[in-house]
């Protein structure tokens, strides 16, 4: 059920959401800022209670929506910096539980191009990245699946390997490891993973994720098919008929398709759309995500000389 949270993390840090994101094989040119807003709509009716897939008539359909500001800036030909901040609204269609909404976590990430070499008919790239995120509001992580998130500070590193042919086809793989801080509940004790804790602090296991993309990117068009896997390295299952808990072992396998297109009649404007579907999981909802965004690129410096552009 809390898939949602993971999803958000992936959107803000790892999902194929923008022209240039921490997990893809692209770089913004030096001095260029690409910024805009993305809208995401997630929904599920079934979820995995541990390994058991079920529905829940007291939840009905879960719907999570977010509007995310996003920006990426080309600091140098080899270094990009990114930031994202989503506003999240979650609700369920049946039962009595109330909806929740608010600012979620700000994430910032850096991506560095380590290697770019000609290899056969194409080019091979290697990128390394670091990312950090922190909650921007005092939301509660103790009302899953409706909570906005898990309210942890996260830090992580990732590695991207990319091979792009001259004709525009590419294969991209990316893996990341995320360290998560403890989270804090509003109550003095809790039970999870077979143990009763006399504490309001919850140890949050770290996560790993990886994905493989096959795509085409030439001129104004980018199209991509993706497989993603995300695993939590510890945590307990949702017990039979129990509520989900912040530190549950949330795993998900997802497939997705992405389209990015630069509108020909408006210079520097791009639109982006993606659909992701959860094909397998544990302690997460079987989510269908629909993502749409509009992005605008502002060039502060000439991309080749690094100088202010001549007008």
Partner 1 sequence: MKKISTLFVALIIFVSACNEVPINQELKTLAPANLDEDAGTWTPIFLASTSAVLLAPPPDDTAPARKTELDAIKNIQANLTPEQIKAIEYWSSGGVLRWNEILRGLVSEFNLPPAPNNLGTYPAPDAENPFGDPNFPFANPPYASRAYSYVAAAQYDALATAWHYKYVHNRQSPYNADSGIEALMTKTSLPSYPSEGAVMSSVTAEILKLMFPAAVERITTMAAQQRNAALWSGKAAASDISAGLQLGKDVAAIFTARARTDGMAVAGGNPQLWAALKTNAETRGEIAWLSLEIPPRPPMLPYFGLRNATPTIPGAKAWMMSDADIEKERPAAPPPTASEEMAKEVAEVYYYTTHVTRERLAIVHKWADGAGTYTPPGHWDEIASHYIEAANMSEVRAARAYAYLNVALHDAAVGCWETKYFYFNPRPSQMDPAIKTATGVPNFPAYTSGHSTYSGAAAAVLSYLFPGDSPFFNEQATEASLSRLYGGIHYQSDCNMGLEHGKVIAEYTLTRARGDGADN
Q: Any contact of residue 143 with partner 1 (CB under 8 A)?
A: yes
Residue span binding partner 1 (CB under 8 A) among the ranges 62-70, 128-136, 163-171, 223-231: 128-136
Is residue 36 within 8 Å of residue 268, measured between CB atoms?
no
User: In whole angstroms, what is the distance from residue 23 CA to residue 106 CA?
Assistant: 17
What is the nearest approach in angstroms of partner 1 to the Cβ of residue 136? Answer: 13
Binding residues for partner 1, total number by CB under 8 A: 51
Is residue 181 within 8 Å of residue 156, measured between CB atoms?
no
Q: Any contact of residue 241 with partner 1 (CB under 8 A)?
A: yes
Q: Which of 41, 115, 167, 189 binds partner 1 (CB under 8 A)?
A: 189
Residue span binding partner 1 (CB under 8 A) among the ranges 12-20, 160-168, 185-193, 297-305: 185-193
Q: Any contact of residue 207 with partner 1 (CB under 8 A)?
A: no
Q: How many CB atoms lie within 10 A of CB 246?
A: 27
Contacts of partner 1 in 88-107 (CB under 8 A): 94-99
What is the nearest approach in angstroms of partner 1 to the Cβ of residue 105? Answer: 13
Residue number with CB closer to partner 1 (127 or 210): 127
310 CB burial (10 A radius; 0-12, 13-18, 19+): exposed
Q: How many CB atoms lie within 10 A of CB 19?
A: 20
Residue number with CB closer to partner 1 (139 or 170): 139
Q: Any contact of residue 87 with partner 1 (CB under 8 A)?
A: no
Cα atoms in the 13 Å half-sphere on the side-chain side of 176: 32
Q: In 3-state terms, what secondary structure has residue 14? A: helix
Q: Where are the beta strands (DSSP E) in 166-284?
A: 169-180, 183-184, 190-192, 195-197, 201-202, 207-218, 221-232, 251-262, 269-282
Q: Any contact of residue 114 with partner 1 (CB under 8 A)?
A: yes
Q: Any contact of residue 239 with partner 1 (CB under 8 A)?
A: yes
- Please report, as ranges, the residues that interact with partner 1 according to CB under 8 A: 57-58, 79, 94-99, 110, 112, 114, 128, 130-132, 138, 140, 142-143, 153-157, 179-182, 185-191, 194-199, 201-203, 239-243, 245
């Amino acid at each position: 059920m809390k898939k949602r949270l993971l999803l958000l993390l992936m959107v803000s840090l790892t999902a194929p959401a923008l022209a240039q994101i921490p997990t893809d094989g692209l770089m913004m040119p030096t001095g260029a800022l690409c910024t805009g807003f993305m809208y995401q709509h997630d929904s599920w009716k079934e979820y995995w209670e541990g390994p058991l897939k079920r529905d829940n008539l007291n939840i009905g359909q879960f719907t999570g929506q977010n509007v995310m500001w996003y920006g990426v800036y080309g600091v140098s030909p080899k270094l990009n910096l990114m930031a994202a901040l989503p506003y999240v609204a979650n609700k369920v269609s049946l039962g009595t539980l109330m909806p929740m909404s608010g600012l979620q976590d700000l994430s910032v990430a850096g991506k560095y191009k380590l290697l770019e070499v000609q290899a056969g008919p194409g080019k091979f790239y290697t990128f390394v990245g670091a990312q950090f995120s922190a909650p921007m509001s005092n939301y509660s992580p103790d009302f899953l699946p409706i909570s906005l998130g898990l309210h942890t500070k996260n830090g992580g590193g990732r590695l991207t390997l990319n091979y792009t042919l001259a004709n525009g086809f590419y294969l991209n793989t990316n893996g990341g490891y995320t360290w998560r801080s403890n989270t804090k509940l509003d109550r003095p004790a809790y039970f999870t993973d077979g143990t009763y804790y006399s504490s309001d602090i919850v140890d949050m296991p770290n996560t790993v994720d990886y994905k493989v993309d096959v795509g085409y990117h030439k001129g104004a068009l980018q199209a991509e098919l993706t497989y993603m896997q995300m695993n939590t390295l510890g945590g307990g299952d949702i017990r039979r008929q129990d509520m989900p808990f912040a530190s549950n072992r949330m795993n998900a396998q997802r497939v997705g398709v992405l389209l990015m297109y630069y509108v020909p009649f408006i210079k520097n404007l791009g639109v982006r759309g993606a659909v992701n579907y959860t094909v397998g999981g544990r302690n997460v909802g079987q989510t269908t995500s629909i993502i749409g965004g509009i992005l605008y690129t502002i060039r502060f410096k000439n991309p080749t000389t690094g100088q202010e552009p001549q007008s």
